[in-house]
Amino acid sequence: MGILTINNKLLLALPLVLLCLHLKKKNLTPNRGSLLGDKNILLMGPPGAGKTTVGRILAHKLGLPAVDIDDDVLEPTWNMPVAAKLASVGGQRFLEEEGKALCNFSASGCVISLSGSNPLDTLAMQHIKRSGIVVYLDVDAEDIIQRLARMKVNRVVGQEAGIPMKNILRYRKQFYEKWFDIRVLCGRGETVLEVADKVLNVLERYNNPDKYISTRSNDASKSVYFSDVAVVGMAKDGGLYVPQNGFPKLEANEWVRLVDKPYHERAFVLLEKCIHPHDISGPDLKAMVMKAYGSNFASEDVAPVRHLMGNQYIQELFHGPTASFKDLALQLMPQLFAQCLPPMCNFLVLVATSGDTGSAVLSGFSGLKDVHKHKTGVLVFFPGDGVSEIQRRQMTGLWEGNVRAVSVGADFDFCQRSIKQMFGTPELTGHLAVEYGTLLNTANSINWARLLPQVVYHTSSYLDLCRGGVISFGDPVDVCIPTGNFGNAMSAIYAKSMGLPIRKVICASNHNCVITDFITTGSYNLHNRPLLPSISPAIDILKSSNLERFIYHTSHGDSHLVKELFTSLDRQQHFSVSEKLLEKIQEDVSAGSCSENECLEAIRAVYENTGYIMDTHTAVAKVVGDRLQDDSCPLIISATAHYGKFAPAVFKALGISGIPEDPAEQLKQLNGLAGEPGMHTELLKCLDEGSEQGQRGCEADYEKMVEEVEDMIQESFLKVV
C-alpha cells in the first residue's frame, strides 16, 4: 500500500483515505501494481490529457492509492483552488511555488497524476522522477483544445497571459519529452478507459524489456536485448536477430496522429516503440533522432514523396550526405551502436565495400559526438579498381580523426576475406585488445540497428500521401524497391506488420535476378549463376542476406525451417520452399527483373515525359513497377540513389556523348538538364574535395592491411596504459 507525505507530515487528505480503505476492502483483483514494487506510477501530460481520471481508474485496477497533485497536494498546501492561486500570483510565481510544493511531497506505491505544469520545474521533476516511472499521456493537441474548451478550464499557466492554447501545448511538449520514461500514444478520440488500458500495457512492456532471438533458434533462453543486437551482426548460430514478439502494432487512430508530424517526430515515436527505454531512454533516442534527421538531409522532409506520373509516386531516399538511401539508416545507426557499446573499450569497425555502403558508414560515424568519437572509429577498405571514381572521391573525401578509407590494390573479395581473417585470428584480436583496449567490429547490413531505422521512411511515404490527400488512412498502396540484400524490402514488410496498409512489396532486380527467381518459383539457386556486371551495381547480388528474416517472418518464426534452408544454401548452393510457403510469400511480395536496356530506356522515357532524372536503381524499380502493378492503388517507387552517383550510365541513357571526365563536372552537366531532382550539394562538395585529397593506398597484402589497422588505432585512440 502506498505511503505519502507532504512537508514531512503523513498526508491525511480525507478523500484519499476513503479511497485507500475502499480499495483495501475490494482488493480482490491481482495486484498488478506490485510489478513496480514501491515505485510510483507518475502520469504526466498536457492539461486535459485525462491524467486525473486515468489515474483514478488505474489506481482502482491496481489496488493502489491515487494522488492528484493539483487537488491533493497543491490545494491543501495553499489552502485555495489552483486557479485562484494562478490568478493571484501570476504564471512565474505560480510555477516556482508549485515546484517547491512538489519538492516537499513524497510518496511511494501510488498512482500520481502530476499537474500539467510540473514538468516545467527541473528540481521538482528530478525529485519526483526518482520515486517512480513517468508515463507520458501524449494526446493530440486538437483533442486537448476541444476538451479544455468544453471543460472551461482556467488554470493553465500561460492561459492567463492570453497565449493561444496551441502554442502553450507546443512549448510544453519539449518538457514532457525531456522527462518521460515511457509514452502512451493516445489515438484521436480515445476514451479514458482505453487510455488506462494502454498505460497498463506500456507498464507491462516497461517491466519486460523487448528481447531478440536468432532466426535459426527459437530458444528463448538465448534471447538478448537491443543493446546486444545493436553491436553484433550475426547470432552465434549463424542466424540473424529478430524481435522475439514481432513488431508492435499501431491502430489506425494512432497512425493518424503521425500524419501531420515531421519526419523526425514520426521516427522518434515509432522507434521508441521498437527500442526499449532500458536500452536507450526516450530522451536519448530523441537526441539521436534529431541529430540524424534534424539537418543532415537536404530536404526538410528527409525522404520526400513526389508525384511522377499516373498513380506512381517517387520516394526520394537520396537527400542524405552521401546521396544513397543507406544514409537513412547510417545517420542513426552509429549513434545507437556507440550508445550500446560496453564502456571501457575502444571499437574499430572494419568495413569492406565496393559501393554505397563505404561513404555512408564513414559519414555516419564521423558525425558521432566527441565522447563517442574517441572510442569508436571506422576503417573502410575498398578495391582500388573496383569502385567508381565518384565512390572513390566520396570515401577519400571523408578522412577525419575516427574515420578513414584505404584503397587496396586488390578486388573486393580480397578486402572482404582479409577482414574476415583478422576477425578469425585470436593473436591479432588479442594483441589489439591488450595493447590498445580496442575490439574489432563490423557494421554490415544485417545489423538490426541498420534495418530498424528504415521502417520509418516506409511509414513516412504513406503518411505523406495521406497528408497530401492522395489517400485516406487505411487505403492500400504498393511499394516497388530495387532489391539487393533485401534490407529495404524487409523494412517495408516490417512497416506492414506494424499495421501500415501496404498491399504488395514489389522487389525489382537487374539481370542478377536470384531474388526475383526465388519469389516467383520458390527456389533459390546459385548453381550456374555468375555475378554479371551491371549499371545498377548496388543490387548485383547472389546471397541476399535479409531474405533469411523474411522467411522467418512468413513462416511465423519456423526457425527449424530457416536453419535447414540456409544451411542447405551454404552447403548445396540451393534451397526450395514448399508450395504453401511460396503462396504466403507471394501474398506479401511480388518480383520482377529488368534488363540493362530496359533500365536505360526507362531513364530516357521518364526524362522526356517529365523532365525528371532517375538513377539506374530507381529506373529498375520503375520498369518492374510498370510491369507488375495493376493501377488499382498508388505505387510508391523507392528512389535509392541520386542520379549523380551513377552519372556515366545516366549520360548513356540520355544519349549524350562526350561525357566530361571529372565526376564533379558530370554532376553539374546532368544537373543543367534535370528539371528535377535538383543538385545534390553535399555530393558535389565531396566530388570537388575528393579530387584534391591525397589517397591512402595499401598493397594487396594481408600484413599490410593489418598495419593499416594498427596505424589507425594508434593515431585515433588513446593507448591504454
Ligand X SMILES: *[C@@H]1O[C@H](CO)[C@@H](O)[C@H](O)[C@H]1NC(C)=O
Nearest residue to 230 (alpha-carbon basis) of 276, 167, 179: 276
244 Cβ contact list (under 8 Å, min separation 6) = 210, 211, 212, 213, 220, 223
- Does the footprint of ligand PLP cover residue 265 (CB under 6 A)? no
| 23 close to 60: Cβ distance less than 8 angstroms | yes
Stretch that binds ligand PLP, among 92-100, 228-236, 237-245, 478-486 (CB under 6 A): 478-486
- Does the footprint of ligand PLP cover residue 486 (CB under 6 A)? yes
462 Cβ contact list (under 8 Å, min separation 6) = 471, 477, 495, 500, 501, 502, 636
Question: What does the per-residue mask of binding to ligand X show for 24-63, with x meaning CB under 6 A?
Answer: ----------------------------------------
Question: In the set 3, 5, 7, 130, which binds ligand X (CB under 6 A)?
Answer: 7
- Does the footprint of ligand PLP cover residue 487 (CB under 6 A)? yes
> Of 339 and 640, which has the nearer Cβ to ligand PLP?
640
Nearest residue to 340 (alpha-carbon basis) of 501, 232, 179, 453: 232
Least separation, in Å, of the C-beta of 74 and ligand X? 10
Question: In the set 304, 484, 663, 677, which binds ligand PLP (CB under 6 A)?
Answer: 484
Q: Which does 77 bind (CB under 5 to 8 A by kind): ligand PLP, ligand X, none?
A: ligand X
Can you tell me the distance from the alpha carbon of 351 to that of 708, in angstroms, rounded to the nearest whole number?
Answer: 13
Stretch that binds ligand PLP, among 88-96, 293-301, 464-472, 480-488 (CB under 6 A): 480-488
Least separation, in Å, of the C-beta of 369 and ligand X? 38
Residue 317's identity, in one-letter code, is L
- Does the footprint of ligand PLP cover residue 460 (CB under 6 A)? no
Nearest residue to 154 (alpha-carbon basis) of 209, 221, 94, 84: 84
Cell digits of residue 346: 575502444
Question: In the set 538, 561, 647, 712, which binds ligand PLP (CB under 6 A)?
Answer: 538
Match 514488410 to its residue by C-alpha cell.
493
Instruction: Count interface residues toward ligand X (CB under 6 A).
Output: 6
Give the C-alpha distances (Å, rounded to integers) separating 589 from 92, 510, 544, 593. Answer: 58, 17, 15, 14
- Does the footprint of ligand X cover residue 127 (CB under 6 A)? no
> Of 40 and 324, which has the nearer Cβ to ligand PLP?
324
Q: Which does 7 bind (CB under 5 to 8 A by kind): ligand X, ligand PLP, none?
A: ligand X
> Pairing state of beta strands 9-10 and 40-44?
unpaired
| 88 close to 133: Cβ distance less than 8 angstroms | no
Least separation, in Å, of the C-beta of 448 and ligand PLP? 14
> Of 78 and 225, which has the nearer Cβ to ligand X?
78
Alpha helices (H) along 386-524: 389-396, 412-423, 426-436, 448-467, 487-497, 514-521
Q: Name the CA dihedral angle for 237, 241, 243, 245, rounded to a multiple of 10 degrees.
A: -20
For 587-683, strand residue ranges (E) read 589-593, 635-639
Phi, psi torsion values for 463, nearest 5 degrees: -65, -35
Least separation, in Å, of the C-beta of 108 and ligand X? 18
DSSP assigned state of 9: E
- Does the footprint of ligand PLP cover residue 2 (CB under 6 A)? no
> Of 105 and 381, which has the nearer Cβ to ligand X?
105
Q: What angle do CA 418, 488, 211 make, to 5 degrees?
A: 80
Least separation, in Å, of the C-beta of 120 and ligand X? 16
Residues 391-450 that bind ligand PLP (CB under 6 A): 445
> Of 96 and 587, which has the nearer Cβ to ligand X?
96
Nearest residue to 79 (alpha-carbon basis) of 143, 13, 134: 13
Summarize the chain as % helix, strand, coil (round to 5).
50, 15, 35
- Does the footprint of ligand PLP cover residue 651 (CB under 6 A)? no
- Does the footprint of ligand X cover residue 77 (CB under 6 A)? yes
At 715, is the secondary structure helix, strand, or coil?
helix
> Of 10 and 344, which has the nearer Cβ to ligand X?
10
> Of 127 and 668, which has the nearer Cβ to ligand X?
127
At 384, is the secondary structure helix, strand, or coil?
coil
Least separation, in Å, of the C-beta of 657 and ligand PLP? 25
Q: Which does 108 bind (CB under 5 to 8 A by kind): ligand PLP, ligand X, none?
A: none
621 Cβ contact list (under 8 Å, min separation 6) = 480, 481, 482, 506, 508, 637, 638, 639, 640
Question: In the set 504, 617, 642, 680, which binds ligand PLP (CB under 6 A)?
Answer: 617
Q: Using N-to-C axis directions, what is the helix angle for 356-366 and 389-396, rounded to 10°?
A: 20
Nearest residue to 537 (alpha-carbon basis) of 350, 357, 678: 357
- Tell me the torsion sign for CA atoms 531, 533, 534, 538: positive
> Pairing state of beta strands 40-44 and 111-113?
parallel
Please state whether the peptide bond connecting residue 677 to the residue before it is cis, i.e. omega within 30 degrees of 0. yes
Can you tell me the distance from the alpha carbon of 72 to that of 499, in angstroms, rounded to the nearest whole number?
Answer: 41
Q: Which does 487 bind (CB under 5 to 8 A by kind): ligand X, ligand PLP, none?
A: ligand PLP
Stretch that binds ligand PLP, among 175-183, 202-210, 402-410, 486-494 (CB under 6 A): 486-494
Question: What does the per-residue mask of binding to ligand X show for 97-116, with x meaning CB under 6 A?
Answer: ---xx--x------------
- Does the footprint of ligand X cover residue 8 (CB under 6 A)? yes
Residue 222's identity, in one-letter code, is K
> Of 128 and 352, which has the nearer Cβ to ligand X?
128
Can you tell me the distance from the alpha carbon of 86 to that of 450, in angstroms, rounded to the nearest whole number?
Answer: 49
- Does the footprint of ligand PLP cover residue 640 (CB under 6 A)? yes
Least separation, in Å, of the C-beta of 9 and ligand X? 8
Residue 708's identity, in one-letter code, is E
Least separation, in Å, of the C-beta of 515 and ligand PLP? 9
Residues 346-375 that bind ligand PLP (CB under 6 A): 356
Q: Which does 488 bind (CB under 5 to 8 A by kind): ligand PLP, ligand X, none?
A: ligand PLP
Q: Which does 539 bind (CB under 5 to 8 A by kind): ligand X, ligand PLP, none?
A: ligand PLP
Residues 149-188 that bind ligand PLP (CB under 6 A): none
- Does the footprint of ligand X cover residue 256 (CB under 6 A)? no
Least separation, in Å, of the C-beta of 8 and ligand X? 5
Least separation, in Å, of the C-beta of 589 and ligand PLP? 12
Residues that bind ligand PLP in the complex, under the rule CB under 6 A: 324, 326, 356, 445, 482-489, 538-539, 617, 640-641
